[in-house]
A = this chain, B = another copy of it.
Amino acid sequence: METANILFRQLFEKASSTYTYLIADKKTKEAVVIDSVRETAERDINLIRELGLKLVYILETHIHADHVTGAHLLKKATEAKTMVSKSAKISCSDGEFSDGDSIKFGSLTLKCISTPGHTDTCTSFYMEGFVFTGDALMIRACGRTDFQQGSPEVLYDSVKNKLYKLPDTTLVYPAHNYNGLEVSTIGEEKKWNPRLGDSISKENFIEIMKNLKLSYPAQIDVALPANMKCGNLET
């Protein structure tokens, strides 16, 4: 959602189908990254340099189980601060955020909206016009709820009572998509999300999520411990 003031890049990591976001104030060049991936950290560091940006914060929507964060590598290269949800209770990060907090860089502000359910510490980041939803609300989908203190009841409330209260035109940028879709809107998801559309009751949703029969997350035993250390594999 590039604008006159905002430099915006959505970046894709193929192996885990993860979207990383780079957002910057075009004037001051101050920037944040959301949900970086270790395998593509060098690409992102290079892009930040080419664009002449000053990375100030490295944010995570949640503690990922499917890939190792690029936070440690990005921090080493840029001296930006790593930031995670306070509720995640991990000690490696430079800063924390909680529900309702504002993360400011240049003239821009991301507002933290606690949206648990995929994990108990998921956060979405909102800026007028768009929202980064991590694995809470995805395009015609949502994150699984059977690991990391996930809960379909809690996720349903996060989406319906928080994300769906945003304007219908708000662009939805998720942490993943597996079908080549990059963006949606709140209005579209209300209408077309097969799990979380307006016509789906909480009971329906819980039933859907309980019957997904998903396999054990392939990367979880590597990714979770690494991400609890902000992606630092050296210690």
Q: Which residues of chain B come closer than 8 Å to A171, judged between CB atoms?
A: 2
Quick one: given A10-B182, A180-B11, A183-B9, are A188 and B50 in contact (CB under 8 Å)? yes
- Interface on chain A toward B: helix, strand, loop, or mixed SS? mixed
CA distance A14 to B180 in the complex (A): 7
- Give the shortest distance, in Å, between A210 (CB) and chain B (any CB): 27
Question: A interface, how many residues as a size bin?
Answer: 20 to 34
Contact B9 A50 (CB under 8 A): no
CA distance A43 to B191 in the complex (A): 17
- Kindly supply a per-residue 1/0 record for chain A positions 163-206, scoring 1 wherever the CB is within 8 Å of any chain B CB and 0 otherwise: 00000000100000001111100001001100000000000000
- Kindly supply a per-residue 1/0 record for chain A positions 32-46, scoring 1 wherever the CB is within 8 Å of any chain B CB and 0 otherwise: 000000001001000
Quick one: given A43-B180, A180-B40, are A188 and B12 in contact (CB under 8 Å)? no
Q: Does A13 contact B (CB under 8 A)?
A: yes
Contact A43 B9 (CB under 8 A): no
Q: Which residues of chain B come closer than 8 Å to A181, judged between CB atoms?
A: 9, 11, 43, 47
What's the number of copies of this chain in the assembled complex? 2
| CB interface residues, A 13-58, toward B, < 8 Å | 13-14, 40, 43, 47, 50-51
Q: Does A90 contact B (CB under 8 A)?
A: no
Contact A9 B180 (CB under 8 A): no
Q: Does A1 contact B (CB under 8 A)?
A: yes
Max chain B C-beta neighbours (<10 A), residue from A9, A11, A12, A43: A12
CA distance A14 to B11 in the complex (A): 14
- Give the shortest distance, in Å, between A68 (CB) and chain B (any CB): 16
Q: Residue on B with the closest CB to A7?
A: B185
Q: A: which residues have CB within 8 A of B?
A: 1-2, 9-14, 40, 43, 47, 50-51, 171, 179-183, 188, 191-192
11 CB-based A-B contacts, threshold 8 Å:
A2-B171, A2-B183, A10-B182, A11-B181, A40-B179, A40-B180, A43-B179, A43-B181, A47-B181, A50-B188, A182-B182
